[in-house]
Amino acid sequence: MSLLAVTDLKKSFGGNVAVDGVGFELAAGELLALIGPNGAGKSTIFNMIGGQLAADSGSIMLGDMALRGLSSRKIARLGVGRTFQIAATFSSMTVLENVQTALVARHGRVYSFWHPAHEIYRSDALALLAQVGMQEHAFKPCRELAYGDVKRVELAMGLANDPKLLLMDEPTAGMASAERHALFSLIKSLAEKRRMAVLFTEHSMDVVFAYADRIIVLARGTLIAQGSAQDVRNHPKVQEVYFGS
Query: For residues 159 and 216, which CB has a smaller minimum distance to ligand ADP in the complex?
Result: 216
Q: If 0-12 CB within 10 Å is exposed, 13-18 middle and 19+ buried, where does residue 167 land? A: buried
For ligand ADP, the closer CB: 17 or 138 = 17
Q: Which stretches of 95-141 are DSSP H helices?
A: 95-107, 122-131
End-to-end Cα separation, the chain, in angstroms: 38
Strands 214-219 and 57-62, by their bridges, are unpaired
Using rule CB under 5 A, residue 91 touches Mg ion: no
The residue among 32 and 40 lying less far from ligand ADP, judged by its C-beta, is 40
* Residue 43 contacts Mg ion per CB under 5 A: yes
For residue 190, the minimal CB distance to Mg ion (Å) is: 23
State the nearest-atom distance from the C-beta of 37 to ligand ADP, in Å.
7
CA-to-CA dists, residue 177 to 38, 39, 159, 174, 229, angstroms: 20, 23, 24, 10, 19
- Please report how close the Cβ of residue 41 comes to Mg ion at its closest, in angstroms: 8
If one asks whether residue 18 binds ligand ADP (CB under 6 A), the answer comes out as yes
Cβ contacts of residue 208 below 8 Å, gap of 6+? 33, 35, 202, 215, 229
Q: What is the closest distance, in whole angstroms, from the C-beta atom of residue 136 to ligand ADP in the complex?
A: 35
Question: Under the criterion CB under 6 A, does residue 225 sit at the interface with ligand ADP?
Answer: no
Task: Quote the CA–CA distance of 44 and 50 in Å, as a whole number.
Answer: 10
Residues numbered 105-164 forming contacts with ligand ADP, rule: CB under 6 A? none
Binding mask 24-53 for ligand ADP (x = CB under 6 A): ------------x-xxxxxxx---------
- 3-state SS assignment for residue 81: strand
Judged by CB under 5 A, the stretch of 42-50, 99-107, 113-121, 188-196 that binds Mg ion is 42-50
Question: Given the rule CB under 6 A, which residues bind ligand ADP?
Answer: 13, 16, 18, 36, 38-44
Question: Given the rule CB under 5 A, which residues bind Mg ion?
Answer: 42-43
